[in-house]
Amino acid sequence: MRTDLLRHRHPAPTARGGARSQLTGRQDRNCDQSPVGHWWSDDSFRLAPVIDLIALGTEIDSPQTGERLVIRSTAESSNGELFQAELLAQPGSYVVRSHLHPSQEERFVVLEGTYGYKIGDRTGIGRPGDTIVCPVGVAHSQWNAGPGLMRIYYEHRPALESAELFFETYFGLSRDGKLLPSGDMRLLQAAVLLTAVADFIRITSPPRPVQDLGFPLLAAIGRRRGYRARYMRYSSRPAAQERG
C-alpha cells in the first residue's frame, strides 16, 4: 500500500458561505463539543446547527480501508447544492457495505483504475470516463476492482451536512484503528453515528424495521458509554482543533 496516501491534511482556512444547516436538535454538555455547535443529548436523536464541518480542500484518510477522500464541494461552499469528493482507493479486498441514500441521487465519475459496483440488482465495472448514477433510495455498494489505484468523483445532490459529519467521523475512527477488519464500525458507535446521519445514509442490513426499533436504544446506550457522532479531534477546521 502507498503510505503517502495515508495522511490527514488540513487546508488553509476558507471564507464561509451561506450554507443551510440540515441538522437540528439540543445540546449535550458531556461530549466533545464544537466551539460553535451543540451535539448529542441523551434524550435527542437530532443534531444542532453546524458550521464547522469539513473545510473545502481537506484530505482525509482511512488507513484501515486504504482510502483517501479529497473534499471538492461542501454544503457550505455550494449553498446546499452539491457535495463532491475525490476518492482514491488502494487495491484490496475492502467492499463498501451496502447502503442507500434516502434523499439524494449519487453519481460516480471514474477518473482512474477500475470501479466495481452493485446498484440494486445490477453489478458492473466502470472505467475512466464512465459516469454511473445511483437513484435516490436504491441500495448500492462499491469496491476497487482492479490491481492498481482507483480514483473516482463522488457527487451527492443535494448536499447535506450530515454527509460531511459521517465522513469526518468514519475516516477519523479508521485513523485511530477503531474499525473492525471488515471496515465496519463497532455496533454502539455505528448506532450513534448512523442515527445522527439517517437523512444521509442508511445501511441495508439488518432490515429497516429492526434498525428502527433497535438503533435508538443502542444509540442511547452508546452515548452513555462515551460514543459520539462527532469527535472534535477529527475536525479538519484548524480553529476547532485548537480549542478542542
Tell me whether residue 44 is in a domain: no
Distance between CA atoms of 8 and 205, rounded to whole angstroms? Answer: 31
Structural domain of residue 162, as residue ranges?
3-22+53-243
Number of domains in the chain: 1
Peptide linkage before 181 cis (omega within 30 of 0): no
Tell me whether residue 45 is in a domain: no
Tell me whether residue 143 is in a domain: yes
Comparing C-alpha atoms, which of 26, 39, 71 is closest to residue 164?
71
Whole-number pLDDT of residue 86: 98
Give the list of residues 6+ apart from residue 83 with CB closer than 8 angstroms, or none.
73, 74, 75, 154, 155, 156, 157, 159, 160, 163, 164
Tell me whether residue 29 is in a domain: no
Tell me whether residue 28 is in a domain: no
Mean pLDDT by 10 residues, the chain (244 residues): 43 40 33 33 40 83 98 94 97 97 98 98 98 98 98 96 96 98 97 97 96 97 98 75 32
Question: C-alpha grid cell for residue 234?
Answer: 477529527
Tell me whether residue 82 is in a domain: yes
What torsion do the CA atoms of 212, 167, 164, 135 make, to the nearest 10 degrees? Answer: -60
Tell me whether residue 213 is in a domain: yes
What torsion do the CA atoms of 6, 10, 12, 17 make, to the nearest 10 degrees? Answer: 110
Tell me whether residue 226 is in a domain: yes
Check which CATH number belongs to the domain holding 171 and give it: 2.60.120.10
